[in-house]
Structure formats: C-alpha cells, structure tokens
Amino acid sequence: MLFSPQFKARFELLTLYFGVSTFVLHALIIFLLKWGWVDPQYFPKNLFGNPFSALFSPFSSLLVYEVYLLIYYLRKSYTKSISKQLEIMALILLRNCFKDAGGLTDGANLLWNSELMKDLTGFVVLMLLVWAFHRIDASRVDHKYQLSDRFVWLKDKMATVLMLVFFGLSIYSFSDWLVDLLRFSENPHKLEDPSHIFYREFFTLLTFADVILLLSSAKNLKNTILIIRNSGYVLATFLLRISFSLEGWERIAILIIGASMAVFMLWISRRQVFLEAHED
C-alpha cells in the first residue's frame, strides 16, 4: 500500500498542497510582522525577518517528498536510494540559501562571511557530484546478481519499517518544533534550527538500516567489489549524518567528502577489471 503507484501519486499531491499552504502562511506572517500587526518577539528573525525566507517552507515540503522517494527506491535499488540521499542534502543546502539571503538583503552581513556563501558553495559542488553520480550510473552495463528470496524479503520489510518511522518521526519532529516556536518569546534559545529537525534522527536510523542490509547482502552476493561498494555507500551515509552536527565550512566539507565517497565507490565498482573478475 505505502509503495503503490496510487499512494505515491496521492502523497505527491498532498505534498504540493501542503507546500503551497505553508508558503502562503509563512509569507503572511512575514508581512504582518513588517506592517507591525504582530509582535516580532514571538518569531525568530532568521525565518521571519525577510520575505525571501518564506521560500523555506515549500522547499521543506518538497524535501519530505524526496525522503519518501528515498525509501521508495530503497526496495528496488540501493544505488538509486544513495542518489536520492545526495539530492536531499543538495536540496537542504538550497533551502538554507533562501533563509540565509535575508541577512544580505538587509545589509546585515558581508557576502564572503555569510552562511549564504557556504551553503551556496556546498550546493553547487554537491550538484556537480550528483550529476557525476547519475552519469556513471546511466552509462554502466547492467549485471544481474542473484539475490535470495530472503534478502529481497528483508529489503521489503526494512523499507516498510523505515516508511512507518518516516511518517511518525516527521509528524513528531514538526509538532515538537512548532511547540517550541509558539514558546519562542519565553525561551528563544530552545528553538532548534529547522534545517536539522527530523533529518538528524532519520539519517542516524538510515545508517543503521544500511548496515543491516550490508551484512545481509554479504551472504547473498558473491561479488566482493559489490560488497565493498555497498560498504562505501554506508560510510557516505554516515558522513552525511555527521554534517548535521557540524557548522560552517566544516559542515560543507564533510558533505562534499561524503558525496565524493559515494561517487567514487560507484565509479570504481564499474571498472572493467572488476567486472571481468566477477564474470570469471
């Protein structure tokens, strides 16, 4: 049910409606603040201090759908799910750019020292790596690997569990953040960066899920380079998870390293010498 074409289409439509609604509400609050009809002490300036910040909301909605697609493709292709991880990280950086732009348009920050420059640089480099990943994946020659029924069953059940956790965690994370937002005037330091809510916990869970699939695939696949490739994918996911605990250029650097690891593992696993070794 959760992976049927009908559910996928309905969830896509729901995401669209939710994104438009939150964008309108976000923009309305920003203009009410500018007109002085709402007390600014109740809203953080980095999210409600500039009209461009309203674009943060629809991108957040789009990211939710991308996470759904990540789990959706996990059942079919591990490589495809990894590409979705990289796309999600790129979208998070792009979403942050709209939030970061507020300080520049108000003249509060210098470009070279701004978070916008860091996020924008990371986004451009990450998109180049995503392009390279898709190009390598599209040009590869398909090799069929025999998978046991038990491993296919495990992937299906793992994806189902992740999907249920995804819905539960997203609702809980958003509700908890919304409560902190409503209490912002009482305790402004408690409000967490919205770029980190949900994704930090989800990528932690995803790393452990990848490890379970890796250990299971080791018993079902005789191709050693494929096991090494999947191990590299797990490391890439772990590095992406670490980025949520870092700030500034360190966060951008670890993201680029993680994405580069995924691209390299896909590229090296498709070299002819490894393919010929498998065929022999």
What is the pLDDT averaged over residues 52-65? 83
Residue 238 pLDDT? 92
Q: Which sign does the torsion angle of CA 201, 207, 210, 216 carry?
A: negative
Model confidence at 82: pLDDT above 60: yes
Q: How confident is the model at residue 219 (pLDDT cuts 50, 70, 90)?
A: low
Model confidence at 109: pLDDT above 80: no
Q: How confident is the model at residue 222 (pLDDT cuts 50, 70, 90)?
A: low
Q: Which one is predicted more confidently, 261 or 146?
A: 261
Model confidence at 235: pLDDT above 70: yes
DSSP E strand stretches across 41-198: none
Percentage with pLDDT > 70 across the chain: 82
What is the per-residue DSSP string for 213-275? Answer: HHHHHHHH---HHHHHHHHHHHHHHHHHHHGGG--HHHHHHHHHHHHHHHHHHHHHHT-HHHH
Which helix (H) or strand (E) is 81 found in, with range?
Answer: helix 78-105
Radius of gyration of the chain (CA): 21
What is the pLDDT averaged over residues 55-68? 85
pLDDT in tens, 165-177: 888 888 888 888 8
Q: How confident is the model at residue 141 (pLDDT cuts 50, 70, 90)?
A: low
Model confidence at 129: pLDDT above 60: yes
Residue 279 pLDDT? 47
What is the pLDDT averaged over residues 69-98? 87
